Amino acid sequence: MPEWRKDSVVDRWVAVSTERAKRPTDYRPPLERKKAERCPLCVGHESDTPPEVMSFRNPGSFPDQPGWWVRVVPNKFPACRVEEENVVRGVGPYYWRCGVGAHEVIVETPEHVDNLVDQSERQVAEVIWAWRARLLDLRRDPRFHYIQIFKNKGSVAGASLEHAHSQLVALPMVPAEIQAELAGARRYREEKGRCVFCDLWSYELQVGERVVEENSEFLAFVPYAARFPFEMWLVPKRHEPDFGTIGEQEVRALASILRSCLRRLAQTVFDPPYNLLLHTAPVNVLEPVDYHWHIEILPRLTIMAGFELGTGYYINPTPPEMAAAALREATAEERKVSPFV
């Protein structure tokens, strides 16, 4: 029978519709857009992007030239700009502020592929190092209070280019979703004296039915109140609010489990479009935060309709236990890997 499940971090309910339960074979990825003839993110097309702000490249090569294996550039069509002033004004009953911020694109590989699953573990680790480097650099600007790192894979998930890339947006405010998670973590700590995320990964590991994969540093599992079919969370076992503190051992472990989980997802439900979100603590805030950074992988296999938009609740047609079992059974076979790293 259908059931309601409550997210233990935020006050959000999810309807798990077991009566309309969908198995992996019931899903087919939506049709993607026709590929562009010239990709601005490919090697040799560096002049098609704004000048790079950072890159990992071969010794002797020059900025905005070939020789890189990860490259970071400003978004050509940014949602916000560093040059803007941080001004807030009242306009009648409303508030207005300048579009201050930073919007960058992390080009994840020189190869023209649309996913990280075909890249080497070392290449995925290099992408994670790039995320960390840009977060640590941008947080030095006191105007910014949150840095959102995310990846859109597939046009249905919002990607306008098929070349594998992720993005970063530095914001002058803390997003409502993160505020809700911070409040939930604080409330849980006050009630139980423990971190809710630490309790989540510990309980999931104990129960086992929603676990996808584990290594020495991370647990990957389908959350109890998953909003989307085959949604996965990657939670570090070490309690740490700030992704910026990640070290070499954790980067290697995260690269391994992230690459493996994306491969399992691709093999289980036909390489679907997805959104990857890195949730971390706010920056440049005075008060300490009670948080635990983590990554959420949200496959785009269903469409949000009137109920979801009207209530903020989700209907998940695949029980998390069924999704986790299918993901565990998926093989982690090696396919081709990048020759660049």
Domain encompassing residue 280: 3-329
Sequence length of the chain is: 341
pLDDT of residue 29: 64
Would you say residue 338 lies in a domain? Answer: no
Would you say residue 145 lies in a domain? Answer: yes
Contact (CB, 8 A) for 127 and 70: yes
Would you say residue 334 lies in a domain? Answer: no
Would you say residue 337 lies in a domain? Answer: no
Active site residue 165: yes
pLDDT of residue 33: 56
DSSP element (H, E) containing 307: helix 306-311
pLDDT of residue 337: 47
CATH number at residue 229: 3.30.428.10
- Best CA proximity match to 36, nearest among 201, 161, 212: 161
- Any residues with CB less than 8 A from the CB of 122 and at least 6 apart, and which? 255, 341
Would you say residue 339 lies in a domain? Answer: no
Q: Distance between CA 291 and CA 283 in Å, rounded?
A: 12
3-state secondary structure string across 16-71: ECHHHCCCHHHCCCCCCCCCCCCCCCCCCCHHHCCCCCEEEECCCCCCCCCCEEEE
Provide the sign of the torsion angle of the four alpha carbons 104, 110, 111, 116, taken in this order. Answer: negative
Letter for the amino acid at 296? E
Q: How many domains does the chain have?
A: 1
Would you say residue 280 lies in a domain? Answer: yes
Point out the catalytic residue in the list 163, 165, 279, 294: 165
Q: Distance between CA 237 and CA 257 in Å, rounded?
A: 13
- Residue 163 tokens, joined: 């070349």
Would you say residue 292 lies in a domain? Answer: yes
Would you say residue 155 lies in a domain? Answer: yes
pLDDT of the chain, 341 residues: tens digit per residue: 567 777 778 767 766 766 555 667 666 666 655 566 789 999 999 999 999 999 999 999 999 999 999 999 999 988 888 877 787 888 788 878 788 899 999 999 999 998 888 889 999 999 999 999 999 999 999 999 999 999 999 999 999 899 999 999 999 989 999 999 999 999 999 999 999 999 999 999 999 999 999 999 999 999 999 999 999 999 999 999 999 999 999 999 999 999 999 999 999 999 999 999 999 999 999 877 899 999 999 999 999 899 999 999 999 999 999 999 999 999 766 554 444 45
pLDDT of residue 289: 84
Letter for the amino acid at 19? E
Q: Distance between CA 221 and CA 213 in Å, rounded?
A: 7
